[in-house]
Amino acid sequence: MIRKSIFLKMFVMSMVVVSLFGCASKNTIKNFTSDRILFLSDKGNTNQWYLMDSDGKNVEALNFPIPQGATLESLIWQSELKMFFLNLVSTDGKVDIFSYKLGDTKLTQISHDGGLKSNSVYSKDSNLITYVCFDYGMDICIMDLSGKNYKKLTSFITNETSPTFINGGKEILFVSAHSGIENIWKTDLNGENLVNISNIGFMELNPRVSADGNQIVFESQRDSNWNIFTMNLDGTNVKDLTNNESSNRQPQWSSNDQKIAFLSDRDGSNNIFVMNNDGSDLINLTQDFIGKIQSFIWSGDNQSIYFVGLAENNLQIYSVKIDNSVINQITKDQANHTSMSWIGAN
């Protein structure tokens, strides 16, 4: 019951943000032919999702055809499907996953159980969706695009988070504290063969699978400080890439797997560092930025990193070039912009 209470408190807090969205208009989103950035903004004194070109031009508010009375809890771009997954909350508090493809006039409902859920991820290989579901706590579930073939894969008393497909969609990677502390686990699609692949007795978070599907980058406290590690899908060949006494967090692969970017406070405040996938050629990309960096994403061509930075009391979006560390401010207004995702052209 303690686990349920904690989850419900987290969900209620998220609903405070959700209530700011309201219902969308009947206008639908047009297709686009260039790479764009998805972001959440409070411009106009209300939280709404927007798309813009990578240079900050052609900003477009996303007006989804949301059913009357429903509110938008979360929005996730599914690159393999070229569509959005939306979590909608009905007037009676039920939460379900809907899909929306650019240019459509209506949403397609996927799930129908009304239970709390988050972090939906689709696999083209298995044609399944994995997500965090809720019973008496946070567990890992799967279903197909029709909402059928539902299966709950975990039933631990701890919370399970961060699910993603590995091994050609045949297994699911996730984070669980079932061993007493957050470690990286995997399971097959039947919920069998559960394996703690890190199993080191220290906290391990934010696993990201390389594009070729062979390695995991993650953050770990296994040497007393937060450092960036890589390992194979079975937990072997563990490498400490940063080996530093500072806090090194939130690693992300470039799309070609050649580089890894992460946040580190080794120079006094959080900056974005980038290194080769073996830890060599480490560079502080944002040492000239005056402000606080909160999050970042890679550009699709791996030539730049976009980040959210706090400067002059507002969260703005910036870019920084990998080859020369030149920083460019993308948004220039009095609003706050967060929750970025890179969306490739159709």
Q: What is the mean pLDDT of each run of 10 residues along the chain (346 residues)?
A: 42 36 45 85 92 95 93 95 96 95 93 94 97 92 96 94 97 96 97 93 96 97 93 96 96 98 93 98 96 96 97 94 97 95 85
Q: Quick one: pLDDT at residue 174?
A: 98
In angstroms and rounded to an integer, the radius of gyration of the C-alpha atoms of the chain is: 20
Helical residues (DSSP H) of the chain, grouped into ranges: 2-18
Residue in the block written with tokens 């650019």: 102
Q: Quick one: pLDDT at residue 32?
A: 65
Q: Which two tokens stand for residue 307?
A: 């980040």
Q: Which two tokens stand for residue 243?
A: 């080996």
Residue in the block written with tokens 């979360």: 74
Q: How far apart are CA 320 and CA 259, in angstroms?
A: 15
Strands annotated E in 66-203:
71-78, 83-89, 95-101, 108-109, 117-123, 128-134, 138-144, 151-152, 160-166, 171-176, 183-188, 195-196
Query: Closest by alpha carbon to 209, among 274, 165, 256?
Result: 165
Query: Closest by alpha carbon to 134, among 198, 196, 73, 81?
Result: 73
Q: How far apart are CA 65 and CA 181, in angstroms?
A: 42
Counting every residue written for the chain, the total comes to: 346
Q: Which two tokens stand for residue 343?
A: 């969306």
Distances in Å between the Cα of 142 and the Cα atoms of 82, 127, 128, 152 are 20, 10, 7, 7
The phi, psi pair for 333, rounded to 5°, reads -145, -170
Q: Quick one: pLDDT at residue 29?
A: 59
Residue in the block written with tokens 């994995």: 130
Burial of residue 268, with CB atoms counted within 10 A of its CB: 0-12 exposed, 13-18 middle, 19 or more buried = exposed
Q: How far apart are CA 269 and CA 273, in angstroms?
A: 12
Strands 171-176 and 183-188: antiparallel
Distances in Å between the Cα of 100 and the Cα atoms of 59, 62, 158, 303, 320 are 19, 11, 33, 29, 31
Q: How far apart are CA 207 and CA 286, in angstroms?
A: 24
Q: Quick one: pLDDT at residue 338?
A: 96
Q: Quick one: pLDDT at residue 268?
A: 86
Distance of CA 55 to the CA centre of its chain: 22
Q: How far apart are CA 176 and CA 179, in angstroms?
A: 8
Query: Closest by alpha carbon to 7, among 106, 139, 121, 100?
Result: 139
Q: Quick one: pLDDT at residue 31?
A: 65
Q: How far apart are CA 242 and CA 226, in angstroms?
A: 9
